[in-house]
Amino acid sequence: MKMLFRISCSLFSTALLFFVTAVGVSINPVAQIGKDSEFNKQQRMGHAFFMQRCSFCHVPRTTKAGADSKVPSGGLLTSLFQKTNSSQEMRVKQTILKGIPGKMPGFEHTLKLEEIDAIIAYIKTLN
């Protein structure tokens, strides 16, 4: 059952990505991200998972015509770790795992803990 749920989520994410591309909306991965070559292995993995699982709600989108970007529904995460401390990291991890009812899905059944740690490592680069 768990595997079926993971497959369904992966297929949904892939279909959503193709849909977004087909309707002419591009995802602009925020100017502060930096070059992929500047990331360590964990941050590169986190970037990939972030773009796959989080970007729809946490990255502004612009049209190909260059219109102003829309504010993401989930908010930008660029200042989430301005003051890094372990309690903030645990709160973010729990939010990713359990979600926020009515606002954000939980990923406890679709992401492994090491994948969530990688996403957090990547988010820390957005400051």
Sketch out the chain's domains with CATH numbers.
2-126 (1.10.760)
Q: What is the pLDDT of residue 64?
A: 64
Residues 54, 123 contacting (CB under 8 angstroms): no
Q: What does pLDDT average to in each consecutive run of 10 residues of the chain (127 residues)?
A: 53 44 38 61 95 90 65 82 83 96 95 96 89
The reported pLDDT for the residue numbered 86 is: 80
CB-CB contact of 123 with 50 (8 Å): yes
Which own/partner contact pairs does 74-78 have at CB distance under 8 Å and 24+ positions apart?
A: 74/103, 74/104, 76/30, 77/123, 77/126, 78/30, 78/32, 78/126, 78/127
115 neighbors 45 (Cβ within 8 angstroms): yes
